[in-house]
Structure 1
């Protein structure tokens, strides 16, 4: 069984690389590059010394029944967006050999579980956002030029590609909240949000300087609504609003920060997925979206997954099911309310 699992992981990685090599004009954009944390990690943590890895059952049960390292039962938000763009799912950077990396022109996934915007945010070894961009810099400098005849063609390719960032939650869960518990003091939420946004902006500028122009930013969602942190009593369950109030300054200020970057970075375009708004929308009419349980983890005691995974919002105590990722991706890609000021389809057609 172990050998079979290893074979399947190698097979899937090879398949993604082959698909990447078959990039053609049918795709809506040349490439999708993914940066972030466990919400979009495609298996980078499999190759790191960290307890934050999920290359075991029951993860991947709906991904050809193979635990690739995705923190879900199936595809992530980034995977689904890639397919909607007509691209193969970006393979994890750490899962592609050095000699093969130059061949991939349809995008790479650098996301790493437990990482955050800050270098100090981590649970074991992980690829910090700074490190992820360092690896992307190497790709742009050393690998991609082998596929383009001129700097102008490479620049055009990067300007038309999409750069997706889903990161920041761990800066609260594994950093800010823990500091509060140790000091028994509530720090200044506004100041911490401002600092995170400043660091996020600094990293976005790095990607811009390398050629990125089109960005999709996944805003931090209501952390107080995940199974790990919800308020539970004998009769009902609800979000931990004290926790949500600590996070909201970041989400509220993110649009302003990106507007500021738009004025500073000529030709840059941003769209934001409002995770707070999306969760509230689903919570208030969950059955409309085909979900019957938005509070509990699908994975129960002993690691046994629920049978009706398409009806659960959360797969484990902190991560979405593939069904939830599909809802978010569908609405962000072509809907009118999830992502603003543009959906991804509109972002694709911006100059």
Structure 2
């Protein structure tokens, strides 16, 4: 879990062209962490990375928890809505079947997940990227059984998003309880991540992924959790430097892979600057708080999740962060709109009207 805007990024998959063939619309397959999770962890009964209690989801739909680690929508929800893409359901959603996949794609993202299998181990249950890819392999077999030879075209034209990485630092390398924290230094740990990520992307390519974007990390040293753990209350610059180093290495990796893999449009999406500016200059964007969570237990911090006993801020639309890790719906909307402009996202399925937003930010219920 965390403000991994990587996730934020995940959304760029949305640049699209309609599928020419067996199906009439572009769908996306999302691989990510808590910034992109739309309910997978909700179905993992032993997972400690959960968004299943109030006040999660308070500004989405019926106001009840739905598996999203925020008060409203994810960045992916918002970008998809604004570019004509359907919202991919969670892989573990009981309603998922072949027809749903063909219409909407699948979201495999899991709170606490990382590029490395060991990342987030203390959350007990979560899907690391290797597991998410394994689940996608099952999806390819399911769709191939239904479509036959046309399945290859369906997957080749689909959009793939990979948005993980912050957990590998925040919930692994930067925590001394993990062996990776003493086995590697900053440089060799990022090399280890890149070697693993390259293997994972090659497997996705072998499974038919051709249009793929990997999203970079945001200023993870500025999430409320990192600030409260510092002596000064300021951003943890080491964590931010690690994010920038990760982004540089991942960008180089994607350029190299795109030049070597057949018919591969592998791209890197970097939104570090956008998110950093929102955090550093909140008033410029209409926020009045970018260093503490809207949902908290008052002076008891860090309270790692939002709980029924928590107190909500007076105006959720003015807070950049919802909890210690994750941005608010308002911040996600601003980030999504900035990304749409920065990356020039197009309306993918122009013949299909975008769904109405399921969020209306309201004041705290205490008011």
TM above 0.5, yes or no, is yes
Instruction: Give the equivalent residue in structure 1 for 2:239.
Output: 243
Q: 1:158 is matched with which residue: 155, 159, 178? A: 155
Matched, 1:133 2:133: yes
- The alignment partner of 2:169 has SS state of helix
Matched, 1:315 2:331: no
Q: Which runs of 5+ in 1 are unaligned?
A: 1-22
Bigger shift: 269-278 or 303-312?
269-278
- The alignment partner of 1:157 has SS state of helix
Are residues 275 and 124 of structure 1, via their aligned partners in 2, closer, same or farther at CA, if it must alter by over 3 Å?
farther
- After TM superposition, give the deviation of residue 71 of structure 1 in Å: 0.3
Are residues 56 and 112 of structure 1, via their aligned partners in 2, closer, same or farther at CA, if it must alter by over 3 Å?
same
- The alignment partner of 1:179 has SS state of coil
- After TM superposition, give the deviation of residue 205 of structure 1 in Å: 1.6
Are residues 180 and 243 of structure 1, via their aligned partners in 2, closer, same or farther at CA, if it must alter by over 3 Å?
farther
- Name the TM-score, length of structure 2 as normaliser: 0.77
- After TM superposition, give the deviation of residue 194 of structure 1 in Å: 1.2
Are residues 308 and 179 of structure 1, via their aligned partners in 2, closer, same or farther at CA, if it must alter by over 3 Å?
same
Distance 1:75 1:308 in 2: 17
Q: Superposition RMSD on alpha carbons, in Å?
A: 2.9
Matched, 1:63 2:60: yes
Q: 2:263 is matched with which residue: 249, 260, 267? A: 267
Q: Which runs of 5+ in 2 are unaligned?
A: 1-17, 298-308, 350-367
Distance 1:319 1:294 in 2: 11
Distance 2:230 2:94 in 1: 47
Are residues 293 and 29 of structure 1, via their aligned partners in 2, closer, same or farther at CA, if it must alter by over 3 Å?
farther
Task: Summarize deviations over 1:299-320 as a string: whole Å, max 9, x none.
Answer: 0213222232122111000001
CA contact (8 A) 1:41 1:92 kept: yes
Matched, 1:178 2:175: yes
Distance 1:292 1:186 in 2: 41
Distance 1:69 1:154 in 2: 30
Distance 1:34 1:51 in 2: 22
CA contact (8 A) 2:84 2:348 kept: no
Q: 1:96 is matched with which residue: 67, 89, 94? A: 94
Are residues 289 and 127 of structure 1, via their aligned partners in 2, closer, same or farther at CA, if it must alter by over 3 Å?
same
Are residues 307 and 32 of structure 1, via their aligned partners in 2, closer, same or farther at CA, if it must alter by over 3 Å?
farther
Q: Which structure shows the higher helix fraction?
A: 1
- After TM superposition, give the deviation of residue 28 of structure 1 in Å: 9.3
- After TM superposition, give the deviation of residue 121 of structure 1 in Å: 1.1
- After TM superposition, give the deviation of residue 280 of structure 1 in Å: 2.3
Instruction: Give the equivalent residue in structure 1 for 2:360.
Output: none
